[in-house]
A = this chain, B = another copy of it.
Amino acid sequence: MDHPDLALVSLQQVLEALVDPVRRMVVAQLVRKGEDMSCGTFEAPVALSTLTHHFNVLREAGVIRQYYVGTMKMNTLRTGEMEERFPGLLPAVIAACVTESGAGAA
């Protein structure tokens, strides 16, 4: 699996990744869980094949890193690298997600 150098990722690409509510759900669940999660363990209102597409978009935008443990594909946020490339962006989006999900929205 390809993981981009974050120096080569544009703000446009990251915003396009984060503008999708299902992709923000994925990010928010990784934050809430506080540990790497396998693809099958996310809660999302879409089929697993659709979710796979969303994981790909997040990976290509440098938001998550994916790796295999046996046959299980694991997902982790590239928090530190994202912070270096786009300071404050991911924390602000995550904070807003948490606020909204607390208020009942996704």
Tell me what chain A mostly uses at the interface: helix, strand, loop, or mixed: helix
Considering the chains assembled together, what is the distance between the CA atoms of A105 and B15 in angstroms?
Answer: 15
Query: With A19-B16, A21-B12 in contact, is A89–B92 under 8 Å at CB?
Result: yes
Q: Mark A86-106, 1 if CB is under 8 A from B, else 0.
A: 111101110111001000010
A binding-site residues for B, Cβ under 8 Å: 10-12, 15-16, 18-19, 21, 24, 86-89, 91-93, 95-97, 100, 105
Q: Is the CB of A11 within 8 A of B93?
A: yes
Query: With A15-B15, A18-B15, A19-B15 in contact, is A10–B86 under 8 Å at CB?
Result: no
Contact partners of A96 in chain B: CB under 8 A? 11, 86, 89
Query: With A16-B19, A92-B92 in contact, is A11–B86 under 8 Å at CB?
Result: no
Out of B12, B16, B87, B100, name the residue touching A11 (CB < 8 Å): B100
Contact partners of A91 in chain B: CB under 8 A? 88, 92
